[in-house]
Amino acid sequence: MKAGFVGFGEINSPPELIKEKCRIAAEEIESLGIELVTTAPVTDDEAGKDVARALEDLDRDNFDVLIICLAGWIPSHAVIAITSRYKHKPMILWGLAGDIENGRIVTTAAQAGTTALRKVLADLGYRFRYVYNIIGRPSPLSKILSFVSAASAERSVAHTKVGMMGFRDMKLYNTIYEGISLKRDFGIEVEFFEMLEMLQESERIEDAAIEPLLTKIKAAWDFEKPADDSFLRKGIQYYLAILKIAKSNRFDAVSLKDVDGMKKILHFPPALIFMLLSDEGGLCTIPENDVMGAVTQIIVKHLTGQCGAYFEFYEFFENSVLMGVPDYVPAEVVEGSVKVTQSAFGGISGGLLNVSEVKAGRVTLARLSNTGDRYSLHMVTGTAKPRAWEEAGWEQPAPQLPSFEITLDTPVEGFAENISGQHYIIAYGDHLQLLKDFCYLKNINVI
């Protein structure tokens, strides 16, 4: 994360005091792990030398967000002279506080400056957050970090790609997407490759590339039932083929035609492939050609650094929801070792399933959806804990699939009325403000 930082103070204010306040503020920002592109404090000098010098300093490097730090009163024109150059970038309008000396408040009138600017910046169409210090209280660093993180993710997300093998698995409707607005509003590309391309590439994978990974997973995973080596080799072969396609096309996320593709045509349930793509390949993965789920994963990953595992809804309760998966989870969300088994469901047999226990704790659920070219992000927080269950149809004894019951922080009924798909993306911790900041920057409706 990188931010431009400009401090301001009126020319008649004590220059050393303004300088010291700006120095402390800049050090607080750097303590968050944010790299700063800085310049000396700017005044409203009549010749505009400070403004010219600040613009020259800021232009020496690129940054994701501009922090406008008012250490004291400043006529608005001195600030606008700088922000106009960077009006396309997100900004933070930050007003510092005064002090108490001998029982009296001593202030440099920073909040007079910020309140003279707030509506002006809004009317100019700037995308910004307004924060201010309070005497005797810590600086609002969590708000600043959230907004800078969102601005950084906005930039990095715009260079990502989703790879789809096949299209519209099971003829689902809610996995369809609108490509033009997705590119226009997010910069995200969706590219397709054929199952035949994967098969042809897999035939070129040599045993020498398969064996090390086979040895690795047999040592690392806990197999509840012995798995046939030929099945494992085939899965690794498919994984390596898809990984090569993903790397050559610079995919950040991959989804496969699952039920009507891998299972129906190749008779190979792809849970093993998804696990390897996630854990070894470092890619976001989601089944069933779920484009909007994959896009949500990319956003969550760029905002939080987590993999953004997908989960499905299975049951609603009065205050909670049961979520699980019918196939796999990334190792990142597993409690303890990765556990796998073989089982059959209906007419589908011979597959490898992930039956690991997933981590409990605070979680955030989110899914991006669109109506035409208008986007919404539905999000909620809750507390996840284990809950025993099984899906009817598996051969007995039924596999205990990865799942948890999540007690939501909002009423379930209201949450359910806005659900936009069966797949939601999870991140551990409370990331609502971070997601809201991203939505603000991208003009996404928050639900």
Closest of 382, 370, 388 to residue 431, by C-alpha:
382
Contact 205, 237 (CB under 8 A): yes
Whether 110 shows a pLDDT value over 90: the answer reads yes
Percent of the chain scored above 70 by pLDDT? 99
Neighbours of 268 (CB within 10 A): 18
Q: How many CB atoms lie within 10 A of CB 155?
A: 19
Report yes or no: 382 and 412 within 8 Å, Cβ to Cβ. no
Rg (C-alpha) for the chain, rounded Å, is 26
- Write the pLDDT tens digit of every residue in 50-94: 999 999 999 999 999 999 999 999 999 999 999 999 999 999 999
Would you list the domain boundaries of the chain? 2-156, 158-446
Q: Tell me the C-alpha distance between 447 and 443, whole Å.
A: 13
Least confidently predicted of 25-39, 217-231, 423-437: 217-231
The pLDDT tens digits for 391-425 are: 887 777 778 899 999 999 999 999 999 999 999 99
The domain over range 158-446 is classified in CATH as 3.40.50.1000: no
Report whether CATH 3.40.50.10940 matches the domain 2-156: yes
In the beta sheet, which residues pair with residue 66? 4, 91
pLDDT of residue 83: 97
Question: What is the three-class DSSP state of 100?
Answer: strand
Give the model's confidence band at 170: pLDDT under 50 very low, under 70 low, under 90 confident, else very high: confident
Mean per-residue pLDDT, 237-261: 95
Quickly state the pLDDT bin for 122 (edges 50, 70, 90): very high
- For residue 350, is pLDDT > 60? no
Strands (E), 294-373: 309-316, 320-324, 339-345, 348-354, 361-371
More confident residue, 433 or 350: 433
pLDDT at residue 346 greater than cutoff 80: no
pLDDT tens track for 259-296: 888 989 998 999 999 999 999 999 999 999 999 999 99
- Per the prediction, the chain carries an average pLDDT of 94
